[in-house]
Structure 1
Amino acid sequence: MEMNSFFKKLESEHFLPLYTVTSMEYLAKAENILKNNNLSFIEITYRSELASKAIKQLSESDELIVGAGTVRSLDTAKEAVENGAKFIVTPGFSDEIVTYCIEKNIPILPGTVTPSEIMRAQSYGLKVVKFFPANVYGGLDAVKSLSGPFSDIKFVPTGGVNKTNYQEFIENPNILAIGGSFILSEKAIIKDEGFSAEQSLAELVAPYAD
């Protein structure tokens, strides 16, 4: 998916679920829950050995846009793309990963928290950055302050965004979307009784549905 189209769609949906896979058993249910709530994106994190396998399985879906998160090396980025990842998310800023993604026309969300990192992202022509970990580096107040000198940058905060504060983040005009495992996680599905995980997700999404 072309970068501008990718970010426009993400902005329209507001939510970027982070999902760490420890068992392939629950992937089909995770996919169904997302589809039933009209969400297209899922970021599979490289925090388990099953990440590439899960990306490959989910990327076969015609409805999901599957990406890779916690990507800390160029080799991991390449492995993710080879297995079907359509976007890359990094916890910090990596020049070589950003360069690779731009050359391959793969949407990239690099992790940034400082003005210098944001300016580095701008030097590559990027207009959307991840803000992580949001809670440690000032949360919404920090985003508001950074939006002064960087009014042309959109942020995707993760880390510390949760069910009690996500609405404040989404309502900020400089925030393109929010990310987090609180949106949908394997743990939530495992604990699910009577589709409680799906109902919980529906409660988050409903106010922002088109």
Structure 2
Amino acid sequence: MSQKTEKLLSLLDGQPVIPVLKIENVEDAVPLARALARGGLKVIEITLRTKTALESIRRAAAEVPEAVVGAGTILDARQFDEAAKAGSRFIVSPGLSRELLSAAAGSEVPLLPGAITPSELMTAREAGLDFLKFFPAEQAGGAAFLKALASPFAGIRFCPTGGVSARNAKDYLDLSNVICVGGSWVAPDDLVKAQDWAGIEALARDAAGLAKH
């Protein structure tokens, strides 16, 4: 698992913000991925919250080679397998289960599972995972909670998502145990519906410019 964590970190390549995307219209997948990549956010997470999600992953992965396409909201082994076959280069889950751990162990695709409580963090650590999604970040206690975890869980790093925005992203990125954040603000629904790819590119560029420290 630790080797796969390093693989995931290398895919991120220092990117401070991962766009979390809910794509309703499959025709938006390719131009959206291209706009985000042009803005400097090549690593994107397409969530399995819509009927078009897997096809969106498939198209973006095949037609936008500059993008690193991952799948989010993966809840079980079947979804893990489907997303990997669609071309996902990493898998994101809101939580952690034995079934997901087993699926990840048998795959070359790295898993970024969600964990919040000390017990969940210890379970992930025992499985060899030290890069975790912290979700829902704001609702679970925000940057202050994550800061409190840094000392007892010194070897674990996080990607907070859930309530993270342009307004508070730096609060998280300034923490020593945060690698990056995930957020949907770089591709808001109104701009996607309007197919305002230039506007999304500009938001992505601003987000890519957020300094880690």
Alignment correspondent of 1:138: 141
CA RMSD of aligned residues (A): 2.0
What is the aligned-residue identity percentage? 31
Tell me how far apart the structure 1 counterparts of residues 163 and 171 of structure 2 sit (CA, whole Å). Answer: 13
TM-score, scaled to structure 2: 0.90
Cα shift readout 1:85-104 (whole Å, capped 9, x = no counterpart) = 11111111122112211221
Structure 2: runs of 5 or more not aligned: none
Structure 1: runs of 5 or more not aligned: none
Q: Which runs of 4+ in 1 moved over 6 A?
A: none
1:204 maps onto 2:207 in alignment: yes
Q: Identify which of 66, 70, 81 aligns with 2:69.
A: 66
* The 10-residue stretch of structure 1 (154-163 or 10-19) with the greater mean CA deviation from structure 2: 10-19
Give the total of aligned pairs.
Answer: 209
CA 1:113/1:3 → structure 2, altered by over 3 Å: closer, same or farther? closer
Tell me how far apart the structure 2 counterparts of residues 172 and 11 of structure 1 sit (CA, whole Å). Answer: 18
The CA deviation at 1:186 is 4.5
Alignment correspondent of 2:128: 125
Tell me how far apart the structure 2 counterparts of residues 169 and 176 of structure 1 sit (CA, whole Å). Answer: 9
CA 1:114/1:151 → structure 2, altered by over 3 Å: closer, same or farther? same
Alignment correspondent of 1:50: 52
| C-alpha contact 2:45 2:72 (8 A) present in aligned 1 | yes
Alignment correspondent of 1:113: 116
Cα shift readout 1:42-80 (whole Å, capped 9, x = no counterpart) = 111010011110111111132111111011121111111
| C-alpha contact 1:11 1:176 (8 A) present in aligned 2 | no
* The 10-residue stretch of structure 1 (173-182 or 189-198) with the greater mean CA deviation from structure 2: 189-198
TM-score, scaled to structure 1: 0.92
Alignment correspondent of 1:37: 39
Q: Structure 2 counterpart of 1:206, which letter?
A: G
